[in-house]
């Protein structure tokens, strides 16, 4: 069980869009306190200076361990460079969290597992890497917590494969419908909290990006 660390669509110091999602271990009052602490620290670190996502997570890890040596959490921190239309790119890093899922408008899917590193709380001295992936028009970027795909008695890979098949079938749905269908399809038999954040680059430079999210 876990508390959702954060689920947000915000602005980085450069004005680019920043995406964050994560889990804090536990499901009690202390977990809720840890969640709030990490969320506030991450916001402060992310706006303090312009850095690669991996460095933002490294500083978050160091700050978290300084305040609470027993704290552990997973997190994906990503920044969309070049606006939210055609030609934009996703700069991202993961601390023990399930990778974002990218689904093209044609229904091709892949997990963005580059830039992965250990949990927050494992070792703040370990270097963290960042990765860059292109976001094509009509593609859908999905960040999610493990409650969406983990099922008791089932291998995690089975849940991840099922998610890929589902997003491929819903690739052309409006983003609100895309998110609602995910909750309907995966939420009924989940024993854990579910949060998701989806973003779809605008097809034209003059149109705003469409974004949606679901979660507690």
**DSSP-derived pairing of the beta strands 116-117 and 88-95:** parallel
Q: What is the domain-level CATH number for residue 171?
A: 3.60.40.10
Confirm whether 134 is domain-assigned.
yes
207 within some domain:
no
Range 74-94 burial, b when 16+ CB lie within 10 A, else e: bbbbbbbeebbbbebebbbbb
Instruction: Answer yes or no: is 205 within a domain.
Output: no
Residue 213 belongs to a domain: no
Domain count, the chain: 1
Among 141, 126, 136, 155, which residue's Cα sits nearest to residue 88?
Answer: 136
Read off the pLDDT band of 211 (50, 70, 90). Answer: low
Model confidence over 90-113: pLDDT tens digits?
Answer: 999 999 999 999 999 999 999 999
pLDDT tens digit sequence for 134-183: 999 899 999 999 989 988 888 999 999 999 999 999 999 999 999 999 99
- In eight-state DSSP terms, residue 209 is P
d(CA 71, CA 178): 34
Does 8 have pLDDT greater than 60?
no
User: Does residue 210 fall inside a structural domain?
Assistant: no
**41 in a domain, yes or no?**
yes
Q: Is residue 216 part of a domain?
A: no
CA–CA distance, 182 with 160 (Å, rounded to integer): 13
Residue 79 lies in domain: 8-199
Using alpha carbons, list the distances in angstroms from residue 193 to 38, 119, 151.
18, 19, 12
Find out whether 94 and 20 touch, Cβ atoms under 8 Å: no
Residue-level pLDDT at 32: 74
Tokens of 148: 């969406």
> Does a structural domain hold residue 206?
no
């Amino acid at each position: 069980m876990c508390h959702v660390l954060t689920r947000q669509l915000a602005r980085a110091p450069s004005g680019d869009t920043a995406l964050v999602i994560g889990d804090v271990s536990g499901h009690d009052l202390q977990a809720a306190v840890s969640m709030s602490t990490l969320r506030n620290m991450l916001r402060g670190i992310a706006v303090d200076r312009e850095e690669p996502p991996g460095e933002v997570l490294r500083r978050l890890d160091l700050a978290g361990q300084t305040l609470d040596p027993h704290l552990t959490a997973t997190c994906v921190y990503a920044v969309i460079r070049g606006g939210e239309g055609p030609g934009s790119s996703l700069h991202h890093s993961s601390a023990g969290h399930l990778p974002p899922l990218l689904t093209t408008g044609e229904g091709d899917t892949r997990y963005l597992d580059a830039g992965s590193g250990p949990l927050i709380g494992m070792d703040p001295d370990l270097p963290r890497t960042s990765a860059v992936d292109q976001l094509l028009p009509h593609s859908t970027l999905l960040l999610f917590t493990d409650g969406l795909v983990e099922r008791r008695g089932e291998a995690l890979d089975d849940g991840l494969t099922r998610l890929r098949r589902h997003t491929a079938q819903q690739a052309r749905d409006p983003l609100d419908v895309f998110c609602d269908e995910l909750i309907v399809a995966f939420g009924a038999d989940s024993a854990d909290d579910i949060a998701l954040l989806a973003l779809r680059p605008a097809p034209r430079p003059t149109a705003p990006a469409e974004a949606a999210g679901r979660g507690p």
